[in-house]
Every structure is written in C-alpha cells, then in structure tokens.
Chains A and B, each alone.
Chain A
Amino acid sequence: MSNIHLLNTRKSQSSEIDSILRNLMSIQGVSAAAIIDNDGFVTHIHRDSEVNTDAIGASVQVVFGAAARSAAHVGHHGTNMVICENTEGYILSTPIDAGFILALVTQRDALLGRVRFELKETIPVLKKLFSSYLAN
C-alpha cells in the first residue's frame, strides 16, 4: 500500500491542472477528463455531464491496478496506459506520479489515436507539475 500524498486542491497552482484538463476536453469526442489520487478520490474533473465521482475514481484505480498486475504476470512491468473499449466509447487511464492517474472518457466518435497521442504529450507536463506539488 502506498504512502500518504496530500494534494491541496484549493491551491491556486491547481488552476494549471484545470487548464490542462480543459485542453484535453477540447479534443473531439472527449467527454470527461479527471485526475484521481491513490485512494480513488477525484481531485480534479472536467466533464460534459454528471458523473458519480466516488464510484468512477475507485473503479479507474482498481481497473488500472488489475491491468498492471495481469501485465506483470506475463513479464510486462511498465504499464503506461489502460484502454477500456466500450460500445459507447473509451476510457483511457495513464499513471502520473505517486499513484495519481489521469483518466479520459470519450464518446464513440473520438479518434483513439489522436486521444492517445494527446494523453502521451500531456503526461510529462503533469509529471513535472506533480513533482513540484508533492515536494512542497
């Protein structure tokens, strides 16, 4: 189990995270973008419609953890992204740092390659932000 990481979401710096999520929401077909901490708590979210944040936060962590574990069983040790393909769209989750995960929800018409590319571009920026937050 992991160490404690308190991220004060009311700090003005968190507006930087919000602007990153807003950018992700502008990609075609993306309907929600969220950051989830190691306890499954949604620390930041932008979404088009109402979402049960408690349930989605815990589920994303559980699915990511289970996928990483099953990957480890076949000798794959670095899980960089988990993609869940559903009839209605996709859920993509990517680890940031210290157990935090960035999750995107899309509709069916989203271009998976484009969303995946943007996620990969975003992660280093978030990693940098988080390492300075968590160091404080």
Chain B
Amino acid sequence: MLQNTKSDYQIAQQQILEGIVSGEFEIENRKDLGPLIPIRLFQALRMVALGSNVEDILGQGAPSLVYHSGQSLGLAMGKIAAANIDKDLETYVGKIKMLCRQLSIGLVVPDRVDLNAGVLELRVDECVSCAGIHNVSAPICHFEAGMVGGIVKTFFNRNVKATETKCNALGDKTCLIRVDLM
C-alpha cells in the first residue's frame, strides 16, 4: 500500500472545508432538499454520534475527543480567516464572526480581551449545539470550546486552553468560552 495516502474521511474533510472556504452553499445531489438541514439533525450528530455514543465507548475520554475534533475545525476556520489580513486581530475576529454566522454555528461576541493577562472570553449566542437543551449538570459544548481554542491558537500561534464556563444548556442564556494563552 502507498504511504501517506489520505483516508476516505480525510478526502471528505478536504472537500467539506473547500466548500466552506468557497462560500458556496449550494450543493450537488440535493436538488429537492437543498443545502440546509434541521438543527435537531445536527444536534443528533453532535450530542449523540459525537456525544453519548462516543461516551459509551470512550468513557472519560469522550470530552477529549470532542474537544480535539472542535479544535481541528477551529484551526481550519482560523486558517481561512487569517489569510490576507496582516495579523490584524479586529479583522480576524470580524471574519470569524461572519463565518460562524454563515455556518449558523452561533453569534460570536468577544466579551473580554485581556492580552496582558493572556485571557480572552468569547460568547457564543444561539449556539447550534445546545440550543433547546436544558437541565444538564455541566457545560456540554466541548466541541465549540475546542473550535474557539483552535481559532485563537491559529491567530496567536501559541498553545491555548479553552474552557466553556457558561452554557445555555445550564440555563445561562449563552455559551461563554474562556481561552487562556499559555
């Protein structure tokens, strides 16, 4: 077998990311149904396929896998947003906000940026993962935390630790993600 060939998931990933970069939302093979899906289907993938099912197999390893998956998406989004902006943080955040709105991930709002303390806090209003979910015992948006971590990591080119400190599913009305620059 050839070394370094891409797996089928990697091939699909590349095509999906290229689709996102192009800003083109129309998609082939969905003539009647179109490019949009009900949010509950996304949530089933996120909280069941990449949530309770992963937890069944991996136990305490589940949040790490989910965080890591979100981080990979965040790194890819960061690369898209960082192109041709000359390292300007405000432009970068603006592009990320737009991308998250276009993809219906949520409405991203910087809540606190303290670069001296190495801390950023970003709100994700209307978070796609936990909208309409209630009565959980702890924040459940590990994917979004990882995604925001990946986005911040790409801009600063530093190790970061992102933690969801408020979650809509806890009754907080928003998801707040704190990012510590290491």
- A: residues with CB less than 8 A from B are 1-4, 6, 9, 37-41, 43, 53-55, 57-58, 61-66, 68-69, 72, 99
Q: Are A66 and B58 in contact (CB under 8 A)?
A: yes
**CB-based nearest B residue for A61:** B64
Flag whether B132 is at the interface (Cβ < 8 A). Answer: no
Interface centre among B62, B139, B146 (most CB of A within 10 A): B62
- Contact present for A69 and B59 (CB under 8 Å): yes
Establish whether residues B137 and A62, one from each chain, have CB atoms under 8 Å apart when the complex forms: no
> Is B140 in contact with A68, judged by CB distance below 8 angstroms?
no
Q: How many A-B residue pairs have CB under 8 A?
A: 81
Interface 0/1 of B94-120, CB less than 8 Å to A = 000000000000000000000000000
A68 to B56, CA, bound (A): 11
- Say whether A4 contacts B57, CB under 8 Å: no
Is B60 part of the contact surface with A, judged by Cβ < 8 Å?
A: yes
* Beta-carbon contact of B165 and A68 below 8 Å: no
Would you call B61 and A61 a contact (CB within 8 A)?
Answer: yes
**Contacts A54-B71, A58-B68, A69-B57 known; A1 to B63 CB distance under 8 Å?**
yes
Q: Please list 10 pairs of residues, one from A and one from B, whose beta carbons are closer than 8 Å in the complex, sorted by A's number.
A: A37-B161, A39-B67, A39-B142, A39-B145, A39-B161, A40-B65, A54-B68, A55-B68, A68-B60, A69-B57
